[in-house]
Structure 1
Amino acid sequence: MTALVLHRFPLGPFPYDRWLDGLESGVVMIAARDRIEGGGERVPDGPGGYRHLEVVDTFDDEELVDRLALDLAHEYGVTHVIAHHEADLIRAAGLREKFGLPGQLPAEVLPFRDKVLMKQRLAGAGIEVAPHTVPGTAAEVRAFAAAHGLPLVFKARDGFGSIGLRIVRSEEELELRLAEDFAPGSGPREDLLLEAYVPGRMCHVDGVVAGGRTVMAWPSQYQYDLSSFQADGGARVDLTLAPDDPLTPRLLALAEGALTALGGPADYAFHAEVFHTPDDRLVVCEVAARPAGARIRDVLNAVFGVHPVELASRAHTGLPMPAIADLAGGERLAPVRMAGQVLMMRRPGTVRSVPVTPEEPWVEFYGVFAEPGEVIGRAAISSDFLAAAVLSARTRAECEVRLRALGARFETEIVID
C-alpha cells in the first residue's frame, strides 16, 4: 500500500512518515514551499522519512499540482489519497475516482464544499440554518435585505478560511459591496452566498469518523468573532466546553445529525460550526469534511491524547488504531482533560519584539511565526497567526484562566511598528 498525501501545511505538525509507518510501500507527499517556510521551517534537502517528497512553490498553481498528483499516482502505484485541506478535497476525490481508490468521491465531497447544497441537506433533515440565497443580481440582494434586514453576511459559495467573508452592517456598506460584486455589464452570479446574520456565540464540534461511526468528538466555543481576523489586534481565545455544560450534549447530538444529513464517507475528520443564539437556539453555520484549522487539531490531541489527523489517516488507510480498539459500538473517546488555544493575528508593520517562550508544563504547543526586524503584512486568512499556543488543564475554568493570562502576555510582549 502507498499513500499519496496532498499537503499545503508546514511539515512539522504532520509527521505522516511516523503516523503511517505501517504502510508497506510508504508515503508519497506533495508539499508547498510557501506553507513550509511560512511556518518557520526549512524545506528539506531530501525525502526524509518519505518514499518521495515533491515540494512545489505553492499549491496556487492548480495545473502543476494536478499533473504532479497524476504522475506520482501512476509512478508509485498509489492505493490511498489523503488530503486534509479544504481546497484539496475535490482534487483528492477526483484522483480516487480516476484510479478506483477507496475514500470520499466527488459526489460525496460536494455537500461539504457547496454551501448551498449543504444548507439544503441540513434543512431537509430538520436542522436549522440561516436564511440564505444565491443572489444573481444587485436587485436580488436588495430584496433579500428588505426581507431580512441588516447585517448581512456575504461569502463565497465554496469558500474556506473566512476568505472573502464580509459582514455588511449599514446601507452605505451594502451599496459599496454591491458596486464591487455586481459591476455594470457583468452577468448574473452563481458563486456568491448571501445569509441573514445570526447573532450569538459561535461554537464548533470537531472529531473523527472511522468505520462509519463517530469515534472522537468534542465541542468548543470561540471567544471572539471569526470574521474580525484582519482587524483584531488582541488575543483570540477558543476553548473546549466542560462535560457538564448543558450545551455539550446538545452540540454533540446536533453534529451527529448534521453528518448523517450530509452523508460523509466511512473515514474522515470533521469540523462543524454552530451558532448558539441569545434565545438558546442552535443554528448550523457550516460543516467541513476535514480537520479543523488554527491549532484546534492540537487542542483535540491534548483533550484525547491522540491526534485527529493521525486517527483519520490511519482509518482511511486501514491501519490499526490502538486508541479506539477498545471502544464498544456507539462509544466515543472520553476526554482526559480540557484544552484551548490563544492566538494573535498577523498585522502589517515591522516586528520589534515577540513573546518570551512560555515554559509552563501545561503548554501543549507554542509557536511564533515572525522574527524581530521582519516586515509582515495583514492576515490573508483566519489562520494567518503571528503567535499561537495551546494550553491544557483539568477543568475548563482553569484552562480559560491560563489562556487569558498568556493572551495578556502576548498583547504586551508583541510589538509591531
Structure 2
Amino acid sequence: MTALVLHRFPLDPFPYDRWLAELDGGVVMIAARDRIEGGGEQVPDGPGGYRRLEVVDTFDDEELLDRLALELAEEHQVTHVIAPHEADLFRAARLREKFGLPGQLPEGVLLFRDKVLMKQRLEAAGIEVAPHALPGTADEARAFAARHGLPLVFKARDGFGSVGLRIVTTTDELERHLAEAFAPGAALREDLLLEAYVPGRMCHVDGVVVGGRTVMAWPSQYQYDLSSFQADPGARVDLTLDPSDPLTPRLLALAEEALGALDGPDDYAFHAEVFHTPDDRLVVCEVASRPAGARIREVLTAVFGVHPVELASRAYTGLRLPALARLGEGARLAPVRMAGQVLMMKRPGTVRGIPVTPEEPWVEFYGVFAEPGEVLSEAALSSDFLAAAVLSAPNREECERRLRALGARFETEIVID
C-alpha cells in the first residue's frame, strides 16, 4: 500500500513518514514551499523518510497540482489519498474516484463543502441552522435583510478559513457591500451565501470517526470572534469545555447527529462549529470532513494523548490503532486533561519584538512565525498567526488562567511598528 498526501502545511507538525511507516509502499507527498517556509522550516533537500517528496512553490496553481497528483498516483500505484486541508478535499476525492480507491468521493465531499447543501441536509434532519439564502441579485439580498434584519453575514458558498466572510451591521454598510458584490448588468450570482446573524459564543467539536463510529470527540469554545482576524491585535483564546459543563454532552450529541445527517466516509477527522445563543439554543454553523485548523490538532493531542490526524490517517490506511485497542465495544477515548490555544494574528508593519519562549511544563506547543525586522502584511486567513501556543491544565478554569497570562505576555512582548 502507498499513500499520497496532498499537504499545504509546514512539515514538522505532520510526520506522515513516521505515522504511516508500516505501509509497505511508503508515503508520497506533495508539499508547498511557501507553507514550509512560512512555518519557519527549512525546505528539505531530499525525500527524507518519504518514498517521494515533491515540493511545489505554492498550491495556488491548481492545474499544476492536479497534473502532478495524477502523475504521482499513477507512477507509484497509490492506494490511498490523504488531504488534511479543506481546499484539497475535492482533488483527493477525484483521484479516489478515478482509480477506484477507498475514502470520500466527490459526491460526499460536496455535502461538506457546499454550505447550502449542507444546511439543507441538516435542516432535513431537524437540526437548527441560521436562516440563509443564495441571493442572485442585490434586490434579493435587500429582501432577505428586510425579513431578517441586521446584522447579516456574507460568505462564500464553498469558503474556508473565514476568507471573504463579511458581517454588515448598518444599512449604509449593506449598500456598500451590495455595490461591490453585485455589479450592474452582471449574471445572477450563485456563489454568495447570505445568513442571518446568530448571536452568542461559537463552540466547536473536533474529533475522529473510525469505521463509521466516532472514537474521539471533544467540544471547545472560542473566546473571540472568528471574523475579526484582520482587525484583532490582541490575544485570542480558545479552550476545551470541562466534562462537567452542561454544554459538553449537548454539543457532543449534536455533533454526532450532524455527522450522521451528512453521511461522511468510514474513517476521517471532523470539525463542527456551533453557535450557543443567549437563549441557550445550539445552532450549527457548519461541519467539515477534515481535521481542524489553527492549533486545535495540538489541543486534541494534549487532551487525549493521541494526535487526531495520525489516528485518522492510520485508520484510513488500515493500520493498527493502538490507542483504541484498550477500549471496549462502542467506547470512545476519554480526555485526560483540558487544553487550549492562545493566538496572535499577523498584522501590517515591521516586527520589532517577538515573545520570549515560554518554559512552563504545561506548554504543549509554541511557535513564532515572524522574525525581528520582517515586514508583515495583513492576515490573509484566520490561521495566519504571528505566534501560537497550546497549554494544558487539569481543568478548564486553570487552563484559561494560564492561557490569559501567556496572552498578556504576548501582547506586551510582540512589537510591530
TM > 0.5 between the two? yes
- In the TM superposition, 1:232-247 aligns within 5 A as 232-247=232-247
Deviations 1:213-238 (A, max 9, x none): 00000000000000000000000000
Structure 2 CA distance for aligned equivalents of residues 275 and 330 of structure 1: 28
Structure 2 CA distance for aligned equivalents of residues 155 and 177 of structure 1: 12
Structure 2 CA distance for aligned equivalents of residues 75 and 304 of structure 1: 38
Which residue of 2 is the match for residue 263 of structure 1? 263
Question: Shift in Å at residue 325 of structure 1?
Answer: 1.4
1:309 match: secondary structure: helix
Q: RMSD of aligned C-alpha atoms?
A: 0.4
Which residue of 1 is the match for residue 357 of structure 2? 357
- In the TM superposition, 1:329-408 aligns within 5 A as 329-408=329-408
Structure 1 CA distance for aligned equivalents of residues 18 and 304 of structure 2: 19
Deviations 1:42-71 (A, max 9, x none): 100000100000000111100000000000
Structure 1 CA distance for aligned equivalents of residues 232 and 142 of structure 2: 29
- In the TM superposition, 1:35-184 aligns within 5 A as 35-184=35-184
Deviations 1:15-46 (A, max 9, x none): 00000001001000000001001101110000
Structure 2 CA distance for aligned equivalents of residues 129 and 104 of structure 1: 24
The count of aligned residue pairs is: 417
Which residue of 1 is the match for residue 314 of structure 2? 314
Structure 1 CA distance for aligned equivalents of residues 242 and 130 of structure 2: 27
Letter in 2 for 1:282: L
Structure 2 CA distance for aligned equivalents of residues 312 and 138 of structure 1: 43
Letter in 1 for 2:336: V
Structure 2 CA distance for aligned equivalents of residues 81 and 199 of structure 1: 39
- In the TM superposition, 1:256-335 aligns within 5 A as 256-335=256-335
Structure 1 CA distance for aligned equivalents of residues 22 and 133 of structure 2: 47
Which residue of 1 is the match for residue 192 of structure 2? 192
Ranges in structure 1 where 5+ consecutive residues have no aligned partner: none
Letter in 2 for 1:69: A
Q: Is the aligned partner of 1:206 residue 2:206?
A: yes
Which residue of 2 is the match for residue 32 of structure 1? 32
Structure 1 CA distance for aligned equivalents of residues 319 and 28 of structure 2: 17
Question: Shift in Å at residue 331 of structure 1?
Answer: 1.1
1:180 match: secondary structure: helix
Structure 1 CA distance for aligned equivalents of residues 234 and 330 of structure 2: 41
Ranges in structure 2 where 5+ consecutive residues have no aligned partner: none
Structure 2 CA distance for aligned equivalents of residues 176 and 347 of structure 1: 25
Deviations 1:228-252 (A, max 9, x none): 0000000000000000000000000
2:266 match: secondary structure: coil
1:144 match: secondary structure: helix
Letter in 2 for 1:230: Q
Structure 2 CA distance for aligned equivalents of residues 226 and 297 of structure 1: 17
Which residue of 2 is the match for residue 10 of structure 1? 10
Which residue of 1 is the match for residue 23 of structure 2? 23
1:255 match: secondary structure: helix
Structure 1 CA distance for aligned equivalents of residues 407 and 199 of structure 2: 25
Moved over 2 A (4+): none
2:253 match: secondary structure: helix
2:179 match: secondary structure: helix
Deviations 1:174-198 (A, max 9, x none): 0110010001121100000000000
Letter in 1 for 2:143: A
Deviations 1:119-161 (A, max 9, x none): 0000000000000000000000000000000000000000000
Deviations 1:75-99 (A, max 9, x none): 0010000001000000000000000
2:401 match: secondary structure: helix
Deviations 1:285-314 (A, max 9, x none): 000000000000000000000000000000
Question: Shift in Å at residue 257 of structure 1?
Answer: 0.1
Structure 2 CA distance for aligned equivalents of residues 295 and 64 of structure 1: 29
2:28 match: secondary structure: strand
Letter in 1 for 2:102: P
Structure 2 CA distance for aligned equivalents of residues 98 and 360 of structure 1: 50
1:287 match: secondary structure: strand
Structure 1 CA distance for aligned equivalents of residues 157 and 84 of structure 2: 19
Structure 2 CA distance for aligned equivalents of residues 263 and 54 of structure 1: 33
Structure 1 CA distance for aligned equivalents of residues 51 and 186 of structure 2: 49
1:35 match: secondary structure: helix
Question: Shift in Å at residue 327 of structure 1?
Answer: 1.8
1:117 match: secondary structure: helix
2:193 match: secondary structure: strand
Structure 2 CA distance for aligned equivalents of residues 33 and 267 of structure 1: 29
Letter in 1 for 2:291: P
1:380 match: secondary structure: coil
Which residue of 1 is the match for residue 252 of structure 2? 252
2:121 match: secondary structure: helix
1:335 match: secondary structure: coil
1:143 match: secondary structure: helix
Letter in 2 for 1:411: E
Letter in 2 for 1:321: L
